[in-house]
Amino acid sequence: MKLYGMQQSRSFRCLWALEESGLKYEYVPIKLRTEETDPDSAQHPNYLAINVQGKVPTLVDGDINLTESVAILNYIARKAPASGLMVGTDIRTVAKHDELVSFVLSELEQPLWSKGKHTFALPEEQRIPEMFETAKFEFAKAVNTLDHLLGDNEFAVANQFSIVDILLAQTFNWAIRFEFEIPPRYRDLRNRHYERPAAKRAMELIS
């Protein structure tokens, strides 16, 4: 199994999950925004053959090829059920898991990535700095909703660490790096989960 990724991009959440899972894997660093002649470039023909978008992450396991981070997280969790990364099988727990994963991707992460795109990812002529205030407004609204979705539990679902907690911790890590206003509760969440041994091992691999 190979995971192709870059530093603290969405690939980090997959690398973290692999470290939590105990599965054997190889991590392959990829460079974004570099010339296609560089063999480690995301634009190199060899990489484009497995990820046509030239983005990260990509997971290759035999004849399985996945290029969306949450699909990769789900795959890792299901391949290593003893890790507990995929919580429960009853319909209520699975529904809560699905709701929170969808919320993180569509609501909580979206304004962060909007700022990221208009800060460094898009070509300069396509950036709109005026949208930063809108992103702050959307993020604050999403955080307020998250308060109601999570309640007072230590972990997001079924009182155990899961891929939802990885998603939340990395998203708030992005929010800190992108200088959004973060309530103490979620700074603590990020710090607590990033202290996990698997998170530290994953961080060492990209530093």
User: What CATH number corresponds to the domain at position 79?
Assistant: 3.40.30.10
pLDDT of residue 128: 93
pLDDT of residue 117: 86
Whether residues 126 and 171 share a domain: the answer is yes
What is the DSSP code string of the chain? -EEEE-TTSTHHHHHHHHHHHT---EEEE-BSSS-TTSTTBTTSHHHHTT-TT--S-EEEETTEEE-SHHHHHHHHHHH-GGG--S---SHHHHHHHHHHHHHIIIIISHHHHHHHIIIIIS-GGG--GGGHHHHHHHHHHHHHHHHHHHTT-SSSBTTB--HHHHHHHHHHHHHHHTT----HHHHHHHHHHHTSHHHHHHHHHH-
pLDDT of residue 27: 98
Residues contacting 14, CB < 8 A, separation 6+:
3, 5, 57, 59, 69, 72, 73, 76
Whether residues 47 and 117 share a domain: the answer is no
pLDDT of residue 39: 86
pLDDT tens series, the chain, 207 aa: 999 999 989 999 999 999 999 999 999 999 987 788 888 899 999 999 999 999 999 999 999 999 999 999 999 999 999 999 999 889 999 999 999 999 999 999 999 989 988 888 788 999 999 999 999 999 999 999 999 999 888 899 999 999 999 999 999 999 999 999 999 999 999 999 999 999 999 999 998
104 falls within a domain: yes
207 falls within a domain: no
Are 72 and 15 in contact by the 8 Å Cβ rule? The answer is: no
pLDDT of residue 121: 78
pTM for the whole structure: 0.94
Whether residues 19 and 96 share a domain: the answer is no
The range of the structural domain enclosing residue 66 comes to 2-84
